[in-house]
Amino acid sequence: MQPQPHSVEYFGPQRDLWWNRDFLDLVARRWRLSEAASLADIGCGRCHWSRLLYPYLRQPARLAAVDREPQWVREGEQQFLQAFPGADPKLLQFVQGDAEKIPLPDNSYDVVTCQTVLMHLCEPLVALREMLRITRPGGIVICTEPNNLSNAMGFTSLTHEEPVETVLRRFEFWLRCFRGKVALGGGNNSIGDLLPGYFGRVGLTEISVYLSDRAIPVLPPYEVPEQRTLLEQDRVWKEFNTGPWNQTEVRERVLAGGGSAEFFDRVFCELVERFEKEQAAIKAGEYHVAGGGCTYLVSGRKR
């Protein structure tokens, strides 16, 4: 069986729910995107992020979308052209390439950006230096990355009164999982906390940090389309053993992070039981959660 391209389980309709448009309006003004006429999206996937940023640029604007997977290069181009049918094809590049060796020339783009890419890299500083290399002097590097340990520990109507020991086991489980991912060379799921310091280390200036204001509360009767999308995402992940329910992958990471097989089996069973209780509570119209998260937007200027 041919391996699937990276992040395929995360490229569903839920990804279009990550940002509030008025929040992007605000940060685009802060980043002075209207003064920029070129954008490079590194690890572009289906161009979710570049499709959001491109309209803020001074038109006609150049775009380079880079991904290591040929499938995402193709689909990213299709999605982008569908969103911007009037864009001049001569100003657009969709290129296969690695974030740690970007196939673009030095000092060539006003804005160089990535969304949830550095979290998957063994050497994120190498990728950041590459992004800096292709940025024009005075240009801006923008990265958006999460703290997924924080995101994994949010309380719901079913978990806010769980025994302290249960909550601590779940915290240890995800901490060991994320530390194990680092140990296995798969990247840091909570790299967002470290990005401002990394920006300083590679020589960026005027470093700024913002937090996404996006939250999607899940409340009965669950009729809002965004709520239904998130609930369906969770159900599909569980049914097809993907995302956080990829038992083989999560087990490998927990063990690499210092957890025992017995510990993994116990807590994973607790997580499955919790999921089934959530599904029953949703069916009964009793489940609710605020739906917030911790996603950073970090930017810096090239001297």
Question: Please, what is the angle between helix 261-283 and helix 164-183, to 10°?
Answer: 120
Which structural domain range is residue 91 located in? Answer: 8-147+190-215+293-301
154 shares a domain with 143: no
198 shares a domain with 54: yes
Enter the pTM of the model. 0.96
Residue type, 94: F
Q: How many domains does the chain have?
A: 2
Alpha-carbon dihedral sign for residues 64, 68, 70, 72: negative
95 shares a domain with 161: no
pLDDT per residue, tens digit, the chain (303 aa), is 556 787 888 888 889 899 999 999 999 999 999 999 999 999 999 999 999 999 999 999 999 999 999 999 999 999 999 999 999 999 999 999 999 999 999 999 999 999 999 999 999 999 999 999 999 999 999 999 999 999 999 999 999 999 999 999 999 999 999 999 999 999 999 999 999 999 999 999 999 999 999 999 999 999 999 999 999 999 999 999 998 999 999 999 999 999 999 999 999 999 999 999 999 999 999 999 999 999 999 999 999
296/303 Cα distance (integer angstroms): 23
Question: Please, what is the angle between helix 225-239 and helix 261-283, to 10°?
Answer: 140
Residue 63 located in a structural domain: yes
Residue 44 located in a structural domain: yes
157 shares a domain with 136: no
82 shares a domain with 207: yes
209 shares a domain with 135: yes
Q: The CATH number of the domain where 61 resides is what?
A: 3.40.50.150
DSSP code of residue 121: -
141 shares a domain with 243: no
Residue 3 located in a structural domain: no
